[in-house]
Structure 1
Amino acid sequence: MGGRQYPWVLASVPWSDATAFTRGTHLGLPLVSWGIAPRDLVATRRQLRAMGLRPNGQEPVAYLYFYCRRAGKKVFAELFLISKSAPHRPATPAQHTAIAKANLAKRICRTCGRDAGYVVPLETRQCTDCWLAEQSTPEPMAA
Protein backbone atom coordinates (compact mmCIF):
# COMPACT_ATOMS: atom_id res chain seq x y z
CA MET A 1 0.00 0.00 0.00
CA GLY A 2 1.33 3.40 -0.98
CA GLY A 3 1.03 6.63 0.97
CA ARG A 4 -1.01 9.62 0.02
CA GLN A 5 -0.18 11.14 -3.32
CA TYR A 6 -0.16 14.64 -1.80
CA PRO A 7 0.75 14.32 1.92
CA TRP A 8 0.38 17.25 4.35
CA VAL A 9 3.49 19.43 4.51
CA LEU A 10 4.19 22.42 6.74
CA ALA A 11 5.49 25.15 4.41
CA SER A 12 5.67 28.91 4.01
CA VAL A 13 2.91 30.43 1.89
CA PRO A 14 2.82 33.81 0.08
CA TRP A 15 -0.45 34.95 1.63
CA SER A 16 0.73 34.61 5.26
CA ASP A 17 3.87 35.36 7.27
CA ALA A 18 3.42 32.13 9.21
CA THR A 19 3.82 28.62 7.85
CA ALA A 20 0.71 26.69 6.89
CA PHE A 21 -0.18 23.13 6.03
CA THR A 22 -0.19 22.49 2.28
CA ARG A 23 -0.24 19.41 0.11
CA GLY A 24 3.34 19.84 -1.10
CA THR A 25 4.24 21.65 -4.31
CA HIS A 26 3.06 21.61 -7.90
CA LEU A 27 5.23 23.26 -10.58
CA GLY A 28 7.25 24.86 -7.79
CA LEU A 29 4.30 26.52 -6.04
CA PRO A 30 2.37 25.48 -2.91
CA LEU A 31 -0.42 23.01 -3.58
CA VAL A 32 -3.61 23.32 -1.56
CA SER A 33 -6.63 21.08 -1.57
CA TRP A 34 -10.28 22.08 -1.72
CA GLY A 35 -11.38 24.17 1.27
CA ILE A 36 -7.87 24.81 2.61
CA ALA A 37 -6.93 28.11 0.93
CA PRO A 38 -8.20 31.28 2.65
CA ARG A 39 -11.06 32.59 0.52
CA ASP A 40 -10.53 36.19 1.59
CA LEU A 41 -6.86 36.25 0.45
CA VAL A 42 -6.59 34.10 -2.71
CA ALA A 43 -8.92 33.35 -5.62
CA THR A 44 -8.99 31.63 -8.99
CA ARG A 45 -9.41 33.55 -12.26
CA ARG A 46 -13.15 32.83 -12.33
CA GLN A 47 -13.58 33.95 -8.75
CA LEU A 48 -11.66 37.16 -9.51
CA ARG A 49 -13.89 37.76 -12.53
CA ALA A 50 -17.00 37.29 -10.40
CA MET A 51 -15.63 39.95 -8.03
CA GLY A 52 -15.03 42.32 -10.97
CA LEU A 53 -11.24 41.89 -10.77
CA ARG A 54 -8.42 40.59 -12.97
CA PRO A 55 -5.00 39.13 -12.04
CA ASN A 56 -3.24 42.31 -13.26
CA GLY A 57 -0.23 40.46 -14.67
CA GLN A 58 0.74 38.76 -11.42
CA GLU A 59 1.98 35.21 -11.45
CA PRO A 60 -0.04 32.58 -9.55
CA VAL A 61 1.00 32.16 -5.91
CA ALA A 62 -0.35 28.63 -5.44
CA TYR A 63 -2.31 25.84 -7.08
CA LEU A 64 -5.64 24.46 -5.95
CA TYR A 65 -6.36 20.84 -6.77
CA PHE A 66 -9.56 18.84 -6.61
CA TYR A 67 -11.09 15.79 -8.25
CA CYS A 68 -13.76 16.61 -10.82
CA ARG A 69 -16.26 13.76 -10.88
CA ARG A 70 -17.83 14.96 -14.12
CA ALA A 71 -14.52 14.98 -16.01
CA GLY A 72 -13.20 12.00 -14.05
CA LYS A 73 -9.81 13.57 -13.38
CA LYS A 74 -7.82 15.84 -11.08
CA VAL A 75 -8.07 19.53 -11.89
CA PHE A 76 -5.43 22.11 -11.00
CA ALA A 77 -6.42 25.79 -10.77
CA GLU A 78 -4.11 28.76 -10.32
CA LEU A 79 -4.63 30.90 -7.23
CA PHE A 80 -3.90 34.64 -7.24
CA LEU A 81 -3.64 37.17 -4.41
CA ILE A 82 -6.78 39.30 -4.24
CA SER A 83 -4.81 42.21 -2.77
CA LYS A 84 -2.66 42.51 -5.94
CA SER A 85 -5.61 42.22 -8.35
CA ALA A 86 -6.92 45.20 -10.30
CA PRO A 87 -10.43 46.14 -11.41
CA HIS A 88 -11.66 44.58 -14.64
CA ARG A 89 -11.33 46.89 -17.65
CA PRO A 90 -14.60 47.69 -19.43
CA ALA A 91 -14.91 47.03 -23.15
CA THR A 92 -14.14 49.90 -25.51
CA PRO A 93 -16.75 51.27 -27.94
CA ALA A 94 -14.87 49.60 -30.82
CA GLN A 95 -15.11 46.23 -29.05
CA HIS A 96 -18.85 46.71 -28.51
CA THR A 97 -19.24 47.52 -32.22
CA ALA A 98 -17.30 44.40 -33.25
CA ILE A 99 -19.43 42.20 -30.98
CA ALA A 100 -22.63 43.73 -32.38
CA LYS A 101 -21.48 43.02 -35.95
CA ALA A 102 -20.58 39.42 -35.10
CA ASN A 103 -23.96 38.85 -33.45
CA LEU A 104 -25.76 40.38 -36.44
CA ALA A 105 -23.95 38.00 -38.80
CA LYS A 106 -25.27 35.04 -36.77
CA ARG A 107 -28.87 36.24 -37.30
CA ILE A 108 -28.80 36.66 -41.11
CA CYS A 109 -30.61 33.97 -43.16
CA ARG A 110 -28.50 32.70 -46.06
CA THR A 111 -31.56 32.15 -48.27
CA CYS A 112 -33.55 35.38 -47.96
CA GLY A 113 -30.79 37.58 -46.49
CA ARG A 114 -33.04 39.09 -43.80
CA ASP A 115 -32.32 39.52 -40.10
CA ALA A 116 -34.28 36.67 -38.50
CA GLY A 117 -34.29 38.36 -35.08
CA TYR A 118 -32.69 35.28 -33.52
CA VAL A 119 -29.55 33.25 -34.08
CA VAL A 120 -30.26 30.96 -37.01
CA PRO A 121 -29.22 27.30 -36.62
CA LEU A 122 -25.67 26.45 -37.69
CA GLU A 123 -26.83 23.35 -39.58
CA THR A 124 -29.03 25.22 -42.06
CA ARG A 125 -28.17 28.93 -41.61
CA GLN A 126 -31.79 29.57 -42.58
CA CYS A 127 -34.67 31.28 -40.82
CA THR A 128 -37.67 29.16 -39.90
CA ASP A 129 -39.79 30.42 -42.84
CA CYS A 130 -37.13 29.57 -45.45
CA TRP A 131 -36.42 26.20 -43.85
CA LEU A 132 -40.13 25.25 -43.79
CA ALA A 133 -40.55 26.38 -47.41
CA GLU A 134 -37.56 24.25 -48.44
CA GLN A 135 -38.89 21.22 -46.57
CA SER A 136 -42.37 21.45 -48.13
CA THR A 137 -41.17 21.54 -51.77
CA PRO A 138 -41.05 18.06 -53.32
CA GLU A 139 -37.73 16.89 -54.67
CA PRO A 140 -37.58 16.06 -58.39
CA MET A 141 -37.44 12.35 -59.18
CA ALA A 142 -34.22 11.01 -60.65
CA ALA A 143 -34.52 9.42 -64.07
Structure 2
Amino acid sequence: MPGRSLVRFFDPVGARYGIPTWPWRMAPEHLATRRQLAARGLRPGGQDIAGQVLWRSRRYGAPGGVRAAYLYDIRLALPKRIPTGAQRAALAKALAARRTCPECGRDAGYVLPRRLGTCLDCAEIWGVAS
Protein backbone atom coordinates (compact mmCIF):
# COMPACT_ATOMS: atom_id res chain seq x y z
CA MET A 1 0.00 0.00 0.00
CA PRO A 2 1.95 3.05 -1.19
CA GLY A 3 -0.08 5.73 0.59
CA ARG A 4 -0.03 4.10 4.02
CA SER A 5 3.27 5.64 5.18
CA LEU A 6 2.13 9.06 3.97
CA VAL A 7 -0.84 8.93 6.34
CA ARG A 8 1.26 7.40 9.12
CA PHE A 9 3.82 10.22 9.06
CA PHE A 10 1.44 13.12 8.37
CA ASP A 11 1.04 14.98 11.67
CA PRO A 12 1.39 18.74 11.03
CA VAL A 13 -0.06 19.60 14.46
CA GLY A 14 2.32 17.36 16.39
CA ALA A 15 -0.36 15.40 18.24
CA ARG A 16 1.13 11.95 17.53
CA TYR A 17 4.89 12.62 17.52
CA GLY A 18 5.15 15.66 19.80
CA ILE A 19 6.44 17.94 17.05
CA PRO A 20 4.97 18.69 13.62
CA THR A 21 5.77 15.78 11.31
CA TRP A 22 5.51 15.27 7.57
CA PRO A 23 6.27 12.42 5.17
CA TRP A 24 9.28 12.59 2.84
CA ARG A 25 9.14 15.64 0.50
CA MET A 26 5.90 16.97 1.96
CA ALA A 27 7.22 19.53 4.47
CA PRO A 28 6.25 23.19 4.01
CA GLU A 29 8.55 25.34 1.87
CA HIS A 30 9.71 27.51 4.80
CA LEU A 31 11.22 24.51 6.65
CA ALA A 32 14.58 22.98 5.76
CA THR A 33 17.10 20.47 7.12
CA ARG A 34 20.58 21.47 8.31
CA ARG A 35 22.05 20.38 4.97
CA GLN A 36 19.50 22.38 3.03
CA LEU A 37 20.26 25.43 5.17
CA ALA A 38 24.00 24.94 4.62
CA ALA A 39 23.46 24.75 0.85
CA ARG A 40 21.87 28.21 1.08
CA GLY A 41 24.71 29.57 3.23
CA LEU A 42 22.61 29.52 6.40
CA ARG A 43 22.71 27.88 9.85
CA PRO A 44 19.94 27.23 12.40
CA GLY A 45 21.32 29.93 14.71
CA GLY A 46 20.09 28.50 18.01
CA GLN A 47 16.44 28.12 17.05
CA ASP A 48 14.46 25.11 18.25
CA ILE A 49 13.49 22.29 15.90
CA ALA A 50 10.37 23.38 14.00
CA GLY A 51 9.38 19.91 12.81
CA GLN A 52 10.60 16.67 11.34
CA VAL A 53 10.36 14.54 8.23
CA LEU A 54 9.94 10.80 8.75
CA TRP A 55 10.40 8.04 6.19
CA ARG A 56 10.70 4.28 6.12
CA SER A 57 14.20 2.89 5.68
CA ARG A 58 15.82 -0.49 5.47
CA ARG A 59 19.14 0.98 6.52
CA TYR A 60 20.86 -0.89 9.34
CA GLY A 61 20.34 0.69 12.74
CA ALA A 62 17.19 2.62 11.92
CA PRO A 63 14.90 1.91 14.91
CA GLY A 64 11.67 0.39 13.65
CA GLY A 65 12.81 0.98 10.08
CA VAL A 66 12.01 4.70 10.38
CA ARG A 67 14.46 7.55 9.87
CA ALA A 68 14.06 11.21 10.74
CA ALA A 69 15.40 14.55 9.56
CA TYR A 70 14.82 17.59 11.75
CA LEU A 71 13.56 20.78 10.18
CA TYR A 72 14.36 24.42 10.95
CA ASP A 73 12.56 27.60 9.91
CA ILE A 74 14.44 29.33 7.09
CA ARG A 75 13.00 32.69 8.15
CA LEU A 76 14.76 32.44 11.54
CA ALA A 77 18.05 31.07 10.18
CA LEU A 78 21.23 33.13 10.34
CA PRO A 79 24.05 33.43 7.82
CA LYS A 80 26.94 30.99 8.20
CA ARG A 81 29.86 32.33 10.18
CA ILE A 82 33.01 32.95 8.17
CA PRO A 83 36.28 31.86 9.83
CA THR A 84 38.98 34.46 10.35
CA GLY A 85 42.40 34.16 8.74
CA ALA A 86 43.88 33.01 12.05
CA GLN A 87 41.24 30.27 12.39
CA ARG A 88 41.94 29.06 8.85
CA ALA A 89 45.69 29.02 9.56
CA ALA A 90 45.17 27.05 12.79
CA LEU A 91 43.00 24.52 10.98
CA ALA A 92 45.56 24.10 8.19
CA LYS A 93 48.29 23.56 10.79
CA ALA A 94 46.21 20.95 12.66
CA LEU A 95 45.39 19.07 9.45
CA ALA A 96 49.06 19.11 8.40
CA ALA A 97 50.02 17.63 11.80
CA ARG A 98 47.65 14.71 11.17
CA ARG A 99 49.48 13.97 7.89
CA THR A 100 53.06 14.37 9.15
CA CYS A 101 54.86 11.16 10.13
CA PRO A 102 56.69 11.39 13.48
CA GLU A 103 59.31 8.86 12.33
CA CYS A 104 60.44 10.23 8.97
CA GLY A 105 59.03 13.76 9.32
CA ARG A 106 57.51 13.93 5.84
CA ASP A 107 53.96 14.81 4.82
CA ALA A 108 52.43 11.47 3.86
CA GLY A 109 49.64 13.08 1.81
CA TYR A 110 46.96 11.28 3.84
CA VAL A 111 45.85 11.20 7.47
CA LEU A 112 48.07 8.76 9.33
CA PRO A 113 46.30 5.68 10.70
CA ARG A 114 45.97 6.03 14.47
CA ARG A 115 46.63 2.35 15.09
CA LEU A 116 50.03 2.62 13.39
CA GLY A 117 51.04 6.12 14.47
CA THR A 118 53.33 6.43 11.45
CA CYS A 119 53.07 6.56 7.68
CA LEU A 120 52.58 3.26 5.89
CA ASP A 121 56.17 3.23 4.61
CA CYS A 122 57.64 3.57 8.13
CA ALA A 123 55.20 1.01 9.51
CA GLU A 124 56.28 -1.45 6.80
CA ILE A 125 59.95 -0.90 7.64
CA TRP A 126 59.29 -1.60 11.31
CA GLY A 127 57.10 -4.59 10.47
CA VAL A 128 53.98 -3.14 12.10
CA ALA A 129 51.73 -2.93 9.03
CA SER A 130 50.09 -6.11 7.91
Same-fold status (TM-score > 0.5)? yes
Structural mapping, 1:71-82, within 5 Å: 71=60, 72=62, 73-82=65-74
Q: Residues of 2 paired with 1:129 and 1:76: CA distance?
A: 43
Match of 1:67 in 2: 56
Using the size of structure 2 for normalisation, the TM-score is 0.72
Q: CA RMSD in A?
A: 2.7
Note if 1:115 corresponds to 2:84.
no
| Structure whose CA Rg is larger | 1
Contact 2:98–2:112 (8 Å) recurs in 1: yes
Q: Residues of 2 paired with 1:102 and 1:7: CA distance?
A: 44
Q: State the shift of 1:8 in Å.
A: 5.0
Q: Which has the higher contact order (CA 8 A, sep 6+)?
A: 2
Match of 1:133 in 2: 125
Pick aligned residue for 2:95 from 97, 103, 113 = 103
Helix, strand or coil at the partner of 1:64? strand
Match of 2:46 in 1: 57
CA 1:64 to 1:24, structure 2 compared with 1: closer, same or farther past 3 Å?
farther
**Structure 1 runs not aligned, ≥5 long:** 13-22, 136-143
Q: State the shift of 1:25 in Å.
A: 4.0
Helix, strand or coil at the partner of 2:126? helix
Q: State the shift of 1:24 in Å.
A: 4.4
Q: Deviations over 1:66-102 (max 9, x none)?
A: 1232134322222111122121111122321221222
The aligned length equals 119
Greater fraction of residues in helix: 2
Contact 1:41–1:81 (8 Å) recurs in 2: yes
Greater fraction of residues in strand: 1
Identity between Structure 1 and Structure 2 (%): 38
